[in-house]
Chains A and B, each alone.
Chain A
Amino acid sequence: MLDLKEQIIAQLNLQDIKPEDIGDDQPLFVEGLGLDSIDALELIVLLQQQYKIKLSNAEDGPKVFKTVRTMAEYITAHQAQNV
């Protein structure tokens, strides 16, 4: 999950935030890390670029991008499917 946190920081240009500042179960949006709708689109790009995963159903977004842990679980599940 450390790698994923580093990728999120790089993709979203969160220059004042270190990986250890992001809790595994901390909400990424609104009250947590304070990401916005453009950041959500950038996270979709991150999944495509880094993991070749396309978010097939936009309605899954809030669930997938809830926390770093939910993102990591989604990536792991899709990588397992692709093996």
Chain B
Amino acid sequence: MKTENHITASCIIRNNLVYKNGIKVFEESGSALSDFLVSAYRHFDLQYPKFFKMDNLSKLGWLANEILLTGSFDKEKYKPEDTGIVLSNANASLDTDIKYYETAKTIASPAQFVYTLPNIVIGEISIRHKFKGENAFFISEEFDAGFIEQYVSNLINNNILQSCICGWADVLDSAYNATLFLIEKDKSPNSVNFTKENLNKIHQLQNG
């Protein structure tokens, strides 16, 4: 029997815009990625000094997750092991790998080295919220809604997870794009069914 799960929230960050559940919640045109991410962090009045030490991929994913969960996620419903994170992108941690490679020509930066893996963004989100559920970071050329639906549904339908943050977080130089989804078993007032079609519809909504 196919179990029905639900997309209970979404967050998109791209083109100097932030959308929560399809509604534009922040815009700062003209700024470079790192400045834009710091502006958004301050706009949403987030308090997490470690944010400033993160590389751009972790900043992007961490910020998207904060906006995704705020007002949409009832942490009390779940044990730490119940919530997992499944992310994907096209460029892994290449943006930071290149920057680290440059520092390594003189004195290598330990602070940059620790971000030379894409799944560190999952660690940053997990530390922030004390999530201990299953996690994975996949590399694919494009956002693959079918794969995400299949993989996350398998985790939830087999009771490995009760909720899952999933989606896409990609950075390379000035190009960036994040779409995160919160997937839960229970419906919420504005949720839609967790299907490949709905993932694509939300992802492409503000994709130009």
Residues of A whose CB lies within 8 Å of any CB of B are 12-17, 34, 38-39, 41-42, 45, 48-49
Contacts and interface: CB of A to CB of B under 8 A. Distances in A.
A14 B52 contact: yes
Contact of A15 (B52, B106, B110, B111): B52
A48 B110 CA distance: 13
A49 B49 contact: no
Please report whether the interface of chain B is mostly helix, strand, loop or mixed according to DSSP: helix
B49 A16 contact: yes
Contacts of A17: 49
Interface string B40-69: 000000000100110000000000000000
A12 B111 contact: yes
Contacts of A45: 107, 109-110
B38 A15 contact: yes
B175 interface: no
B151 to A, nearest CB: 31
Contacts of A12: 53, 111
B52 A42 contact: no
A16 B110 contact: no
Contact of A14 (B49, B109, B110): B49
B110 A41 contact: yes
Contacts of A15: 38, 52
B111 A42 contact: yes
13 contacts: A12-B53, A12-B111, A13-B53, A14-B49, A15-B38, A34-B49, A38-B114, A39-B111, A42-B109, A42-B110, A45-B110, A49-B106, A49-B107
Contacts of A48: 107
Contacts of B109: 42, 45
A51 B69 CA distance: 45
A15 B42 CA distance: 12
B110 A13 contact: no
A45 B110 CA distance: 9
Given A12-B53, A13-B53, A14-B52, A38 B107 contact: no
